[in-house]
Structure 1
């Protein structure tokens, strides 16, 4: 009696050329996905949808290659239907967000993996078929969990899973078609080539799953952990600038210095009480009464674990490379983390008033640390994000903290012209990371600025996930690569962020020309992030408003190299600060010099 025809045997009886076309299509599609895993979301939807459908077809085609009879097992039919339905869903709705794509892919992989593991225990299956099915199932479950747990790198998961799987299975199908080799022997048993091919594919899939899981764990393990020191106690003082607690701090502190981390009270952007953290560093030897450099750090991130006092390099991570010079000159350092970094947020990234409050209140609170023995004089230094914060600190010092004796403000490559900065970010490699911090802060703090109005739906998940990663965190690089891929679409932003409520808030947070202390503004001539034309326009506006400013442009210096130890800015900054602490007058009005 002739055995009943099943789906698997029906596929095997298709014309060889058609089977070759299907196999070649799977190989080519797999290669495209692997070579361009960060293609635009619209194209990615087509690739994923087609890949899912092809996977389902090839799953049905493999029905007779591992079983001892010709009946296609129900679990294999279920898997094939799952792949095909999922693929059609993605193809019919190509406007899915990355999160929805992650959901479809993740659930499909997990269910497929579970069914494959269950199918490995079929009574009529050979030992090698059981092993390969179980291994493929486990690999699928691992990849599915990665897709769901880390949706903004789903593109890379898809590239590894579908690309590799389609290539391997497609090559096997192509081999069968071109050689005319039966998928099963005349006795109904799987051929040796089919067995070994499937086993090799399973081993490769497991290896890739282990590698992907290890990489995922290492990337996710790069974020620092917030400890109990940063938790606000129940009895927080009502007034700002009060010290809550302090404890010794030694990480990356020079041998000739002593340091503490502090928790203190301040004021948020709404004018409500808040808590912030920071660092205090003083010379180990000296007579005390140290003049203070009130440091406002450059960008470290938006999320709570991104506080400099939590990072492996607490000073250099925020672009403070000159701590040895500070200590050697007999000065002390007070460095705020800002609100929302270390302490509860949100962090007011590039939002002026609250960052100035945090800097001024850190200075006030540090004076209560008796062991530090700080003097009364203060000079503010800040770079990039912190440069803008330094400008705001100088602008608000007289009204908010008249008790702080401010001798000068040095703003270095400051984020001053915020609309100009946002306009430039799309042209900067990795600028999307900084943009994600701005978007996260402004949408969290200002109700009239909304994600859906300024960020493309396809990029929103990646932008949100990116904003949760610190600048120095390994996972941030993955997010940047993902978003660079998505930027092959015309725009990441759905609306120009310098327009509407977002644009109005950016202008609102441009530092005002109300700085009474002497002002030094340093700028790199080759700065690619805070570009000189935007800084020039900001300085012109300051000058027109009657603000005194000593504007110095350093030729050949990019954004961070401007403040590195070998920069010509460094001796100028030390000399200028020494003169301010000595009470020497500055030339009134605006001066500009090329260095």
Structure 2
């Protein structure tokens, strides 16, 4: 073996050792992450953490930034103003937090169902929010993902009650701050569909319900802000194939919360036979739900009397937004081809919010429906709010 060959082999060996060493340093947190030090002080006030455990299924990208995750049970407020336990998931980046703590982004999920088993925290994809959460943690934000009441913990889920879900969002932020102890009170939020209404309501409720937090702005995509129009459409037989099952879930959830609501006042005999399947989100019944939805016909889901119509309308109106001036700016993204939430309903909610003095940038996207709204502007918009850049608005005063 020549001297040159020997030196070449030595160089290769050194390079291999270096690569292995670097790889070990990089991959160590992936395979051997530090256990998070979670704080569980207990209590009954809104946002109090009553249970927390390590989130056991962090993605590789989260592990690479040494993120920490926790499954959290915390206190919030039910529609009657009483304390209730709510579950959720929280994340913080690894490393040293900035001065004042990690800024936090709340993620409010869309419709996953109305049963306890429907909680995003019980699904591998966090109700479709895992990729967004992963991106935010990688960008240096703490993340709070509430399940909402009745999802993940005992209780009735008040479906489409945006104010109650908004309080769940605010208390999830409080819980995230408590359980990790390195999270700032400065928060922003993103939500779509049901979550769009929840994050909008959290923005409105923040100043009065959570004065300890500092809202900077929220993005509401295809928000379920005001869906009172479902009643008139049901009576006219013009509900879309997406709206009929949404109204069914609302009626079922309302009947669970209000024993005086009679389900048969809002359904045909055919709908009654399909009812349990339409209400499901797990097990064999959930697999049959698409067929049950396809079997619905105009008039199957609608009030059967004037009294039932009034009751349904009043309840939906009590849930509708806006209710008060928002605490921070909003970006509202929605499509003009949405078959779940009529675009006119969203336009009107934005108009009324602008009249209250809100700072809103509203973008109605041509040809976009409910689930394909372009949200690429959301993260840059949120980043600008944390940077203190004045929020744009296209409200007409």
CA distance in 1, matches of 2:396, 2:363: 8
Shift of 1:244: 0.9
Residues 1:307 and 1:380: Cα distance change in structure 2 (over 3 Å) = same
* Larger deviation, residues 546-555 vs 331-340: 546-555
For residues 95-148 of structure 1, the C-alpha deviation after alignment (integer angstroms, 9 at most, x for no partner) is xxxxxxxxxxxxxxxxxxxxxxxxxxxxxxxxxxxxxxxxxxxxxxxxxxxxxx
Structure 2 CA distance for aligned equivalents of residues 522 and 280 of structure 1: 25
C-alpha contact 2:362 2:394 (8 A) present in aligned 1: no
Counterpart-to-counterpart distance in 2, 1:545 and 1:364? 27
TM-score (norm 2): 0.79
For residue 258 of structure 2, what is the aligned residue in structure 1?
446
Asked if the contact 1:430–1:480 (Cα under 8 Å) also holds between the matched residues in 2, the reply is no
Cα deviations by residue, 1:51-107 (Å, 9 ceiling, x for unpaired): xxxxxxxxxxxxxxxxxxxxxxxxxxxxxxxxxxxxxxxxxxxxxxxxxxxxxxxxx
Work out whether residues 292 and 378 of structure 1, in 8 Å CA contact, stay in contact via their aligned partners in 2: yes
What pairs with 1:252-331 in structure 2 (closer than 5 Å)? 253=59, 254-255=62-63, 256=65, 257-287=67-97, 289-316=101-128, 319=129, 321-331=131-141
Q: Is the alpha carbon distance of 1:333 and 1:591 closer, same or farther for their aligned partners in structure 2, counting shifts above 3 Å? A: farther
In 2, the alpha carbon distance for the partners of 1:539 and 1:300 equals 25
Judge conservation of contact 1:348–1:445 (CA < 8 Å) in 2.
yes
Give 1 or 2 for the bigger CA radius of gyration: 1
Q: Work out whether residues 293 and 381 of structure 1, in 8 Å CA contact, stay in contact via their aligned partners in 2.
A: yes
Structure (1 or 2) with the greater strand fraction: 2
Alpha-carbon spacing, 1:490–1:445, altered in 2? closer, same or farther (3 Å): closer
The TM-score with structure 1 as length reference comes to: 0.54
Q: Of the candidates 268, 289, 294, which is equivalent to residue 456 of structure 1?
A: 268
Cα 1:421–1:551 shift into 2, 3 Å: farther
Distance 1:245 1:268 in 2: 19
Mapped pair 1:535 → 2:346: yes
- Cα separation, partners in 2 of 1:464 and 1:448, compared to 1, 3 Å: same
Tell me how far 1:320 sits from its aligned partner: 5.6
Provide the secondary structure at the position in 2 that maps to 1:418: coil
2:387 is the counterpart of 1:582:
yes
Q: Following TM superposition, by how much is the alpha carbon of 1:545 offset from its aligned partner in structure 2, in angstroms?
A: 3.2
Determine the structure 2 residue equivalent to 1:114: none
- Which consecutive unaligned segments of at least 5 residues does structure 1 have? 1-232
Partner Cα separation in structure 2 for residue 523 and residue 252 of structure 1 = 31
Cα 1:490–1:263 change in 2 (3 A) is: closer
| Distance in 2 of aligned mates of 1:553 and 1:252 | 35
Question: RCO greater where, 1 or 2, for CA within 8 Å and sep 6 or more?
Answer: 2
The Cα shift of 1:477 comes to 4.6
CA shift in 2, pair 1:481/1:543, >3 Å? same
Q: How large is the RMSD of aligned CA atoms in angstroms?
A: 2.7
Alignment partner of 1:544 is 2:355: yes
Structure 1 counterpart of 2:171: 361
2:226 maps to 1:435: no
* Equivalent pairs, count: 347
1:238 and 2:44 matched: yes
What 5-or-longer segments of structure 2 have no aligned partner?
Answer: 1-39
Shift of 1:483: 4.6
Which has a greater percent of helix?
1
After superposition, the Cα gap between the structure-2 partners of 1:320 and 1:420, relative to the gap in structure 1 and judged at 3 Å, is farther
d(CA) in 2 for partners of 1:329, 1:591: 34
Over 3 Å counting, the alpha-carbon distance change for 1:484 and 1:531 in structure 2 is: same
**Shift of the alpha carbon at 1:462?**
2.0
Which residue does the alignment assign to 1:481? 291
Task: Provide closer, same or farther for how the CA distance between residues 454 and 557 of structure 1 changes in structure 2, counting only shifts above 3 A.
Answer: same
